[in-house]
Amino acid sequence: MEAELRAPEKQSATVERPLHLALGPPTVLAATGGQARLDKRISARKLNLLLLVSLAMAIVVATALGAVRLPISEVLRAFLHPLRAGEAGEIIFQLRLPRVLAAALVGAALSATGVLFQGLFRNPLADPFVLGTSGGAALGGAFGIFLIPSLSFAGFGATAVLAFCGSVLTMVLVWYLARASGRFAMETLLLAGFAIGTMLNAATVVFEMREEASNSGLRVLAAWLHGQLGIPTWSQVALLAPLVIIALVLGLPVAGRLNTLALGEEYAAQLGVSVVRVRVATVVLGSLLTAAAVSLGGLIGFVGLLVPHFLRILIGPNHVRLLLPAALGGATFLILADTFARTAFAPTEIPVGVFTAFLGGPAFLYLLNHRSRESRQ
């Protein structure tokens, strides 16, 4: 009888270790001298407020900067009274603000997808393009640029439409191949995504060889493959903004299930969590967010990898607490990155994906070094 009463204590002790291994350092860390050292992290509420204020400031500053620099006070007056903005209003509302909001949507989508996929695959190196969607988007974009440039849908050009479709269709194909053997495994999904993405990326070379005589198409494709935010129409922003917001809202309960899956799939199933449904929901939401980001800004790397890693250091590994800060942080980061990319070497504009790669590479190496030192303590 006494052994039966003590059984739950044993079970809780065994559950705590997988959580530590899957989600990172726990709140209380062992320290030398036999005393516990609290891992002090900023609260998610304070961080969300700070990131929200930072996002608002980034939007204002990015709208003010450009070939014609506008005073911050004039931008704020235009936001408050758009009908009285005059000539400055045309620059703000027709050129700069749509691009700034597009950068915010792309950054939020990529960063949130990074949180979801890293939780699903339990791999800190998972990014929004881990399932090969970048290859599908690249091939779709090449089709749009070279074969049917006149295609349009809901205000989007051929490149954006076919990149979105290529990204989604690649996700469907990878999922089908991962389940074709009858035994689904996350490793199979990752390998299928890598293989399909590599083949589709290579397929774009056919278009590059075919269009060697036409440098204009190659320049457009090269800029898009390196991440190029253009000036979207308000109808494009209005169409994709609800998609990104709804996906983020639906991602919150999924993030909670990912926390449970981190304890182990068998334990999660005992708690009533449908592992298959969580996988499907995560892949669908992440792929839709990635496709939306690709249709607006091309292939922009490191946002979905760097921002979630940095925020884990600040608030811990809980995916529910990470999702919203990751979206806000990714939006702010990409707005600032795009502002630098279009103003630093004006009138020449560099693709924002090139800048995020130059910035994200060293920053990510620093974070890896920080985590390795933390794990040795």
Q: At what angle do helices 133-146 and 215-225 cross, to 10 degrees?
A: 160
Q: Locate the domains of the chain by residue range.
A: 97-376
Cα separation, 305 vs 283, whole angstroms: 16
DSSP, res 91: I
**pLDDT of the residue at 143:** 87
- Above 90 in pLDDT, residue 306? no
Residue 24 to residues 38, 237, 257: CA-CA distances in angstroms?
14, 37, 17
Domain at 97-376: CATH code: 1.10.3470.10
Neighbouring residues of 248: CB distance < 8 A, sequence distance ≥ 6? 108, 112, 289, 323, 324, 327
Q: How far is CA 264 from the centre of its chain?
A: 25
Query: 3-state DSSP call for residue 64?
Result: helix
Rounded-to-integer distance, Cα 177 and Cα 199, Å? 14
How do residues 223-266 score in pLDDT, each as one tens digit?
888 888 888 989 999 999 999 999 999 999 999 999 888 888 78
Burial of 284 (0-12, 13-18, 19+ CB in 10 A): middle
Among left, alpha and beta (phi > 0; psi -120 to 50; other), residue 66 is left
Q: Which pLDDT score, from 0 to 100, does residue 276 have?
A: 86
Q: How far apart are CA 39 and CA 348, in angstroms?
A: 46
Ranges 144-148, 224-228, 279-283, 341-345, most confident: 279-283
User: If pLDDT is split at 50, 70 and 90, which confidence band does 185 have?
Assistant: confident
| Helix H or strand E encompassing 157 | strand 156-157
Q: Please tell me which of 31-45, 184-198, 322-336 the model is most confident about, judged by mean pLDDT.
A: 322-336
Question: What is the overall mean pLDDT for the chain?
Answer: 82
Q: Distance (Å, rounded) from C-alpha 195 to C-alpha 177?
A: 11
- Residue 364 has a pLDDT of 75
Q: List, for residues 3-62, the tens digit of each pLDDT value.
A: 433 443 433 333 333 333 334 433 333 333 333 333 456 787 888 999 999 999 999 999
C-alpha angle with apex 41: 38 to 46, nearest 5 degrees? 145
